[in-house]
Chain A
Amino acid sequence: MKKPVIDASGVNLTFQTKDAPVHALKDVNLQIDKGDFVSFIGPSGCGKTTLLRCIAALETPTGGSLTVNGLSPDEARKARSYGYVFQAAGLYPWRTIEKNIKLPLEIMGYPKAEMDERVKRVLDLVDLSGFGKKFPWQLSGGMQQRASIARALAFDADILLMDEPFGALDEIVRDKLNEELLKLWDRTGKTICFVTHSIPEAVYLSTKIVVMSPRPGRITDVIESPLPRERPLEIRDTPEFIEIAHRVREGLREGHDV
């Protein structure tokens, strides 16, 4: 049996605040296999972003065990095993798109020729060829977010962690980017962890949907999607899709009643 890429068992995280400790994650058990597209969905405060940040070693769990590529999250971070896409594109305004994508490559010390070649490849991948010399403010919000995905892809990490990357975009742009993200996932075979609070987005994208609920932040349901890998946007009108969406909604409601 092959080992999961991300393996969480009994992960707990308590934040010490002034008045009372906040139980952000409670007994989280989850296995993510190579090539999975996993969505974390739940209301605010359910710990979905916190869990992603734990995987990225931006937070440290206070209990349980968590491995990424068989390493501790911190070792995995140092081994540059993942690319992280934040809610906002967070491109540096003083760098062109090209230079923004080069940022991680510069930090990781890639040779110059390879940097250029990689920039060209990932710009192609996110359909931004020809925009490399532009500054971020010259691009629309959707294009900026695509550039930030390109930046996360540039150094060939096989895990992509995405924290509500399309949350700030309008519905139409979001649909388009979702479609493109699926194609990208199909072409690159990366393992993607995707935080969202949109049910259609989660169902459309994922092979595995992790439903979470707050106070304390925990997993209430894990749904293995029966949908095929090949997913045109119209799949959202099929009975299978609606059924999964229904189950997600039930899970969210259940978590809320507790």
Chain B
Amino acid sequence: MRNILPILTVLLVIVAVWYAAAIKMNAPWTYAQANRAGTEVTFSEVVRDTLNQERPVLPAPHQVAAELWATTVEKKITSKRSLVFHGWVTLSATLLGFAIGTTAGILLAIGITHNRAMELGVMPWAIASQTIPILAIAPMIIVVLNSMGISGLIPKSIIAAYLSFFPVAVGMVKGLRAPDTMQLDLMRTYSASDNQTFWKLRLPSSMPYLFASLKVGVAASLVGTIVAELPSGATRGLGARLLSGSYYGQTVQIWSALFAAALLAASLVIIVGVIEKITLRRMGMAA
């Protein structure tokens, strides 16, 4: 762990900037309160107050940490206030969406690499789909699916899949086309069928590309799920937690939900990274 010092330094700087910002941004309220009560406040009193307000503009790190601790470790996970519970609701939709998106992305990539017409016909739509703001399209998908009687996990997963299929498709197209002319010629000298070329050459060659795009895809899935939880009036999930926090001005709750989401995303990316490492090592490519 030779890098521990720079990592800690960066972390410390971020925390320090955060504290400073919290003091600066929460101070007006403290002054206003004091003014109303007709009292004077010293600087140290201001600092103490700004870091411990109940509904601060910007909660201090320790407040967020305390809220995270209280809503994960101290609450029963079946409780409606447990972040573990909400996190699981979001995670399950994310994973299902990621699975759907990855499958769709890979199939699309296979189609595109095998068929020029498909590339010309489908790729522009895939690109167009990603230029539409997800915030605009998510409510519509949810409403449409709701009217078809589909609600709960599936609509969220579909939006997660909508965001994650694209990076996977783009990465896989690149990966499936990674073999060079010589490698393809070699297969030709063996009179290998397209199928054999795919399974023995194209697919293994694409693995490093696949994993790179899976990392992007899994994080996008989580974002998609959270966005999907916002407009649906859902009462469960990290997105719902964010929304109710903003309804009631519970900034500490918002920030702890944000952190929970960030931690979840980071863990997912790390898990994909570990699977990547194991897979590539078993393939002898982890050089």
Please give the residue numbers on chain A whose beta carbons come within 8 Å of chain B beta carbons, in ascending order. 56, 58, 77-78, 80, 82-84, 86-88, 90, 92-96, 103-104, 106-108, 135, 137
Contact = CB atoms under 8 A, between A and B. Distances in A.
Interface string B244-287: 00000000000000000000000000000000000000011101
A188 B284 CA distance: 33
B75 to A, nearest CB: 47
B191 A78 contact: yes
A56 B186 contact: no
Contact of A94 (B189, B196, B285): B285
A107 B200 contact: yes
A107 B201 contact: no
15 contacts: A58-B188, A77-B188, A80-B191, A83-B189, A84-B185, A84-B189, A87-B182, A90-B182, A90-B183, A92-B183, A93-B284, A93-B285, A94-B283, A107-B190, A107-B191
Given A90-B182, A107-B200, 15 more contacts: A58-B189, A84-B185, A84-B186, A86-B186, A90-B186, A92-B204, A93-B285, A93-B287, A94-B204, A94-B284, A94-B285, A106-B200, A107-B187, A107-B191, A108-B190
Contact of A86 (B182, B190, B204): B182
Contacts of A104: 190
A93 B283 CA distance: 8
Contacts, number: 51
Among the interface residues B200, B283, B284, which one has the most CB atoms of the partner chain A within 10 A? Answer: B284
Interface of B: 182-183, 185-192, 196, 200-201, 204, 207, 283-285, 287
A144 B183 CA distance: 15
Among the interface residues B182, B189, B192, B196, which one has the most CB atoms of the partner chain A within 10 A? Answer: B189
Nearest to A109: B196
A92 B189 contact: no
Contacts of A80: 190-191
B284 A86 contact: no
B200 A103 contact: yes
Contacts of B285: 93-94
Contacts of B186: 84, 86, 90
A86 B185 contact: yes
B154 to A, nearest CB: 37
Given A88-B182, A93-B284, A56 B200 contact: no
Nearest to B279: A94
A137 B280 CA distance: 14
